Structure 1
Amino acid sequence: MRLAPRGLEPDRALRKILPRSLFGRTLLIVVVPLILLEGVALQIFYGSHLDTLSRRLAGSVAGEIAFVLDQADEYPDARQQIFANAAYRFEFAFHFHPGRVLKPRRLPHAFGPVDTDLAHALSTGLGRPFALVWHGPPGMVRVDIQVTDGVLTIDVPRKRLYIGALYIFFAWLGGTTLILLTIAILFLRNQVRGIRRLALAAEAFGMGRDTGPIRPEGATEVRRAGTAFNRMQDRVRRFLAQRTAMLAGVSHDLRTPLTRLRLAIAMLPEDAADIDGMTSDIAEMERLISLYLAFARGEGGEQPQPTDLALLIEEVAARTARGGATIALALASMPPVVLRAEAMRRVLTNLLDNAARHAGRIDISAAPEGGSNVRICIDDDGPGIPPERREQMFRPFESGSAAGIGLGLAIARDIIAAHGGDIRLDDSPLGGLRVAMVLPL
């Protein structure tokens, strides 16, 4: 039993958490330090500076209330004058409720540490029952205090307890965060846009869609990659053009002596020996030359166009059926597929001809798959191919019979791969071989 290397499981868990896109990961690199920095700044401000100032302000208010109550208890006849002076100097508002008994209430919660600081300061400084009401008169904090002959209500201005810079600090913290995130998102989108365009252009070029050169944009490294891709694309185009021209010349050079041989055979007497055999050999040589050139050329000159794939399958199936094959079609409704129609016609023709040579019944089905692909299956009731040999059949010059030259499946895979699709061999429900093709819509 093999054990996973130590640290592999955390690495897998980390990959599941991290964003998959470059934009998401880069943004995470920007956001995480920003949040940590703001967390440290908030802890320093909230945990030390704000907490200290809040305790001092709450202690000051509690001390003033305790001083007023002490003065009122010491000079009961001058209570109203004491309250009036305190209201003028401390900005308090006094309301006396004679004979009332203070009911115990749960201490309310307020934003910041001011609620606990004020409650603690009053508990320490007053030495008598009290209750706090934070949602009392606008702009005021109400303190109900039990005195000997009733309940004294004192309204304390909130500005005496709060730090004016508190909201400014949080607004500055949130505002700078939004500004920095906006700048980072716009910058990263501009950088990632160049990489996305490069990836789309490479994907389209690999599928045979000539979209032309891309416009390099973004950082210097991304621009270099775009420029290098344009140069590579141009070199590949020149190579394909030169190879096509060379193959056209080779085709002409090979067919010329074959034409002369055919004319020479035609001028021989009809009773000459082996005329039919020589004519058949020449036809077979021409067929092989056409097949070799088609394989080497790779159908690179044709441009992809939106094509009715179902109609194309029906045409190829009808041609094969005229040769005596029994073909059943099951074609679902499909949107137009961008492909090279003649190259796809060659693929279907090769596959159906192979199936017709080895089987008596052929079923063809085609339907969309997953919303972005179309799946084509060709099933037959022939002898099939052993699973261990199926991958070998896609190699050039690998043949399942002595009569074949083994280029049909190689050409098919080459063309399907150029379209961005895949082809594979599998067991057929009919008992023979299934050829399954997947093409992007």
Structure 2
Amino acid sequence: MRRGVVRGMGRSTVWRRGVGRSIKRLMPGSFLGRALLIVLVPLLVTQSIALELYYGNFLSVVSRRLSDGVTGEVGLTIDLLQQASSEVEQNWILERARQRTLLTMGWEPGAQLHRHGTTHVLGPMDDDLTRALAGAFGRSFFVDWSTDARSVHIRIQLRDGVLDVEAPRKRLLVGPIWLFVAWEAGSSAVMLLIAALVMRNQVRAIRRLARAAEAFGMGRDPGEIRPEGAQEVRKAAVAFNRMQARILRFVTQRTTMLAGVSHDLRTPLTRLRLGLAMLPTQGTVEASSLKPDIADMEGDVAEMERMIGGYLAFARGEGAEVARVVDVAQLLHDAAAAAMRAGSAVTRVDVPPMLEAVMRPDAMRRVLLNLAENARRHAGHVAFAAWPDGQYLHMAIDDDGPGIPPEQRERFFRPFAHGEGGNSGLGLSIARDIVRAHGGEIGLGDSPLGGLRVWIRLPL
């Protein structure tokens, strides 16, 4: 019993999920499309209900009453004709009927009706008239809707002849349905247009907020956005401006503090290096025995200076440089030239001309120089490359060094990580921080040169 319940619940859950996924696929992806759909669906349902109630019930009742009215007048005329004693009296009755009922009637003595029924089906009006004539007289009749555009011809078979009735269509037709449908469709279109204009203004504020958040996430300064739109959107814009100001203030304070501490540490390190340099290393046994210790301390001081240099580079990377449009080819050639001045053997710089991207050029140049310096220490040759791919800019720095095992590559992005490929220091950490501040990503892979590839992906 429990298994059946569980199975039934499972099938019901799967069915609901399937229906939900189908509805999501049919729903528009944009907020504006969904908002207009929320307006359009109730509007169409309301108009459809109004159309069904009006033409399905009210007009049906009116059509039956109009058909019954015409049939009753024709029936009264037939009763009077059958009681008339002479042709003059019959003509008088037909003339009075024309004047009082707006029905033109003609009497054909001895005639026989050869056609029966109706010419075609127009809808409720034709059905109601046919039903009324059949119920009122119980005789053969023929209704012609097609001969005259303004009138309906009705021929009724009597005992001694045929009564020809010409009834104006306005006596039987309530009104063209297309006029009512056109009115409903036109009013719906106007209402939807007004809703679209109003919702467009609301969505514009949301899109502006999204663009500002995206730009801020990529390291660009969108500035404060003007609160506009609905009350909730205004509150979101104000909250975004406050958040942006707090983050910028926090980053500025942290950068200033880190730069100040790193800069202040250089002074005692310089004194230590100077003091170590002035210690005697020759002439006495004690001085000779201190020589290895002095060398170790000088190495420690050099390592501390390198760490402080990394901190300063990290602080500069977190600075308030403004992003702008940069010529990627020029950027890579400048980085390659700087790398060659530092002793790197740059084999090629492969980048298409007229390739531009929005970035902070000094920070990105620092990333490329850091990566080139890492390659110089572990490899003999370095190559730079860049290419666009859809909405992204890809850059790669390749070397022919020993590389890094795939399982250890992520570890080298941590500060001062150690592994089979050596020590990472702060270079890769600073590079990842700067690239992610641009809204991009950085990673390690296998190089076509046989060593390590550092790839960078930035939004265009």
Tell me what 1:387 maps to.
Answer: 406
Q: Structure 1 residues 353-362 or 164-173, which shifts more?
A: 164-173
1:42: Cα distance to partner?
A: 3.0
Question: Does the CA-based 8 Å contact 2:379-2:399 persist in structure 1?
Answer: yes
Tell me what 1:352 maps to.
Answer: 372
1:239 aligns with 2:258: no
1:35 aligns with 2:44: yes
1:214 aligns with 2:225: yes
Corresponding residue SS for 1:20:
coil
Question: Does the CA-based 8 Å contact 2:32-2:199 persist in structure 1?
Answer: yes
Aligned length: 435
Tell me what 2:423 maps to.
Answer: 404
Q: 1:86-137 CA deviation, whole Å, 9 max, x = no partner?
A: 4433334569999996599851446xx3243334434555643524435843
The alpha-carbon distance between structure 1 residues 388 and 95, as it changes in their structure 2 partners (threshold 3 A), is farther
Opposite residue 440 of structure 1, the aligned amino acid is P
Q: 1:183-207 CA deviation, whole Å, 9 max, x = no partner?
A: 4334433333333222222222222
The alpha-carbon distance between structure 1 residues 386 and 89, as it changes in their structure 2 partners (threshold 3 A), is farther
Opposite residue 369 of structure 2, the aligned amino acid is T
Opposite residue 143 of structure 1, the aligned amino acid is H
1:143: Cα distance to partner?
A: 2.9
1:73: Cα distance to partner?
A: 7.9
Tell me what 2:142 maps to.
Answer: 130
Residues of 2 paired with 1:164 and 1:13: CA distance? 41
Tell me what 1:199 maps to.
Answer: 210
Q: Which of the pair has more CA radius of gyration?
A: 2
Residues of 2 paired with 1:365 and 1:58: CA distance? 86
Q: Structure 1 residues 300-309 or 349-358, which shifts more?
A: 349-358
1:160: Cα distance to partner?
A: 1.6
The alpha-carbon distance between structure 1 residues 17 and 405, as it changes in their structure 2 partners (threshold 3 A), is same
Tell me what 2:4 maps to.
Answer: none
Residues of 2 paired with 1:125 and 1:431: CA distance? 102
2:324 to 305, 311, 315: 305
Tell me what 2:33 maps to.
Answer: 24
The alpha-carbon distance between structure 1 residues 279 and 41, as it changes in their structure 2 partners (threshold 3 A), is same
Corresponding residue SS for 2:227:
coil
Q: 1:390-436 CA deviation, whole Å, 9 max, x = no partner?
A: 33333333344574234322222221211112223344455544433
TM-score by length of 2: 0.77
TM-score by length of 1: 0.80
Tell me what 2:120 maps to.
Answer: 107
Q: 1:126-182 CA deviation, whole Å, 9 max, x = no partner?
A: 643524435843xx2433648699998755333222336978865764565445434
Corresponding residue SS for 2:454:
strand
CA RMSD of aligned residues (A): 4.1
Q: 1:320-363 CA deviation, whole Å, 9 max, x = no partner?
A: 35534353333234542110001111222223333444445555
Residues of 1 paired with 2:330 and 2:33: CA distance? 43
Matches for 1:33-182 after TM superposition, within 5 Å: 33-65=42-74, 77=87, 84-92=95-103, 107-109=120-122, 113-125=124-136, 127-133=139-145, 136-137=148-149, 140-143=150-153, 145=155, 155-163=166-174, 173-174=184-185, 177-178=188-189, 180-182=191-193
The alpha-carbon distance between structure 1 residues 395 and 267, as it changes in their structure 2 partners (threshold 3 A), is closer
Corresponding residue SS for 2:423:
coil
Residues of 2 paired with 1:428 and 1:87: CA distance? 103
The alpha-carbon distance between structure 1 residues 59 and 301, as it changes in their structure 2 partners (threshold 3 A), is same
Residues of 2 paired with 1:213 and 1:129: CA distance? 82
Q: 1:214-234 CA deviation, whole Å, 9 max, x = no partner?
A: 222233333222222222222
Corresponding residue SS for 1:216:
coil
Question: Does the CA-based 8 Å contact 2:408-2:419 persist in structure 1?
Answer: no
Question: Does the CA-based 8 Å contact 1:101-1:150 persist in structure 2?
Answer: no
Question: Does the CA-based 8 Å contact 1:366-1:375 persist in structure 2?
Answer: yes
5+ residue gaps, structure 1, are none
1:285 aligns with 2:304: yes
5+ residue gaps, structure 2, are 1-6, 284-290
Question: Does the CA-based 8 Å contact 2:218-2:436 persist in structure 1?
Answer: yes
2:17 to 8, 28, 40: 8
Residues of 1 paired with 2:82 and 2:384: CA distance? 104
Question: Does the CA-based 8 Å contact 1:328-1:364 persist in structure 2?
Answer: yes
1:421 aligns with 2:430: no
1:336 to 345, 349, 356: 356
Q: Structure 1 residues 397-406 or 162-171, which shifts more?
A: 162-171
1:251 to 254, 262, 265: 262
The alpha-carbon distance between structure 1 residues 87 and 425, as it changes in their structure 2 partners (threshold 3 A), is farther
The alpha-carbon distance between structure 1 residues 333 and 69, as it changes in their structure 2 partners (threshold 3 A), is farther
Tell me what 2:345 maps to.
Answer: 325
Corresponding residue SS for 1:19:
coil
Corresponding residue SS for 1:377:
strand
The alpha-carbon distance between structure 1 residues 142 and 233, as it changes in their structure 2 partners (threshold 3 A), is same
Q: 1:7-47 CA deviation, whole Å, 9 max, x = no partner?
A: 32222222222233333333333333333333333333232
Q: Structure 1 residues 211-220 or 188-197, which shifts more?
A: 188-197
Opposite residue 332 of structure 1, the aligned amino acid is P
Corresponding residue SS for 2:428:
helix
1:65: Cα distance to partner?
A: 4.6
Corresponding residue SS for 1:306:
strand
The alpha-carbon distance between structure 1 residues 145 and 271, as it changes in their structure 2 partners (threshold 3 A), is farther
Residues of 1 paired with 2:316 and 2:50: CA distance? 67
Matches for 1:359-378 after TM superposition, within 5 Å: 359-360=379-380, 362-370=382-390, 372-378=391-397
Question: Does the CA-based 8 Å contact 2:392-2:458 persist in structure 1?
Answer: yes
Residues of 2 paired with 1:430 and 1:81: CA distance? 116
